Amino acid sequence: MDKKTELIIDKLHSDRSLTEEEYAYLIEHRDEESTCRLASLAVAAREQVYGRDVFIRGLIEISNYCKNDCFYCGIRRSNKDCERYRLGEDEILRCCEEGYDLGFRTFVLQGGEDAFYTDERLCGIIRTIKERFPECAVTLSLGERSKESYRRLYEAGADRYLLRHETADEKHYASLHPSELTLENRMRCLKDLQEIGYQTGCGFMVGSPGQTVKELAKDLRWIETFKPAMCGIGPFIPHKATRYADMKPGSVELTCYLLSVIRLIQPNILLPATTALATLDDKGQEKGILAGANVIMPNLSPMEARSKYRLYDNKAYSGTEAAQNVEDLKRRMEEIGYKVVTNRGDIKGN
Ligand code: 5AD
């Protein structure tokens, strides 16, 4: 590690803020020493806020119908080889029941942008979940909607909303999405969600097509100002039915490095070690936790749904990412000195 990298890390640690150029330098000078230094500072920062607790969220993939056509995504509407499904209210509730018994106190309803899920339907489902499981948090991850819609869902009881910003750079955003999708609207959604009162999550893929150090530096700067409650980052993984079929997947090591940086930007942030990390590396989620992540989102979807909710090739769904293997997950976290806890796992001190 050179002197400048060392100084930049010190500055990040003390100020929780860097310039775009400094973020870029830090990423370009990633080596063993800078990785270790960032990880140990990140782990200490997290420990001060959350101790060694790992929060778990039960992920329920409610639909893989999607009206969007994001160029990188396996469930994009123009993928005719994707077998579509959606879960009904009763099936979603059964997932929650199973999850509750396994110790989950947050349910994440995630899906493509599926017009079937009107505000009315979703509000009904959210109210029922909150009635049956009053001490549980409901997180939604259902894409772009109007502010009015976000407000109705919040009033029905939803607590959190995940919507990755994907990239903070306008041109890069336009290269990954068809023209009807804009960064401007994405940011509008994120701002609306925060204003309404959701614990709001953003995020991006690492190694997405066309991404360079510059785009990553911009993402980090943007996260500084947005102050999300959560941030989901995971390596890009190609899907065979997309134009990026032959691209290399993103780097697990760079993802972990960025997890450490984000932890230092915002010590109380909720940071998942994502399924994409587990997909590329058997120990990917452990590596994520050891770099500063503190959330794992095991899959509670019915088995048939899981194999169809395929955002990218080889998506893991039967190892520790399966909610049914939560005992296995607990053991794996214990092995690295962490503890899976059963509570809502809200953001602290916001
Ligand atoms: N590789 C990794 N992550 C992906 N996502 C979509 N497609 C891929 C892919 N090929 C991520 C996007 C999206 C989230 C639901 O999954 O960031 O927001």
> Is the shortest distance between the CB of 312 and ligand 1 below 6 Å?
yes
CB 238 within 8 A of CB 244: yes
Query: Where are the chain's structural domains?
Result: 52-341
Q: How many angstroms is it from 269 CA to the middle of ligand 1?
A: 21
pLDDT of residue 323: 75
pLDDT digits (tens, 9 = 90+) for 123-140: 999 999 999 999 999 999
Check if CATH label 3.20.20.70 holds for domain 52-341. Answer: yes
pLDDT of residue 317: 78
- Ranges under pLDDT 70 in the chain: 320-321
User: Would the CA dihedral through 267, 61, 256, 187 be positive or negative?
Assistant: negative
pLDDT of residue 316: 84
pLDDT of residue 144: 98
- The set of residues, in sequence order, having a beta carbon less than 8 Å from that of 177 and lying 6+ positions away, is 68, 69, 70, 71, 166
pLDDT of residue 153: 98
pLDDT of residue 72: 98
CA distance 18 to 274: 25
Specify the pTM.
0.97
> Is the shortest distance between the CB of 311 and ligand 1 below 6 Å?
yes
pLDDT digits (tens, 9 = 90+) for 276-293: 999 999 999 999 999 999
Q: How many angstroms is it from 11 CA to the middle of ligand 1?
A: 32
Quick one: tokens of 220?
Answer: 């980090």
> Is the shortest distance between the CB of 156 and ligand 1 below 6 Å?
no
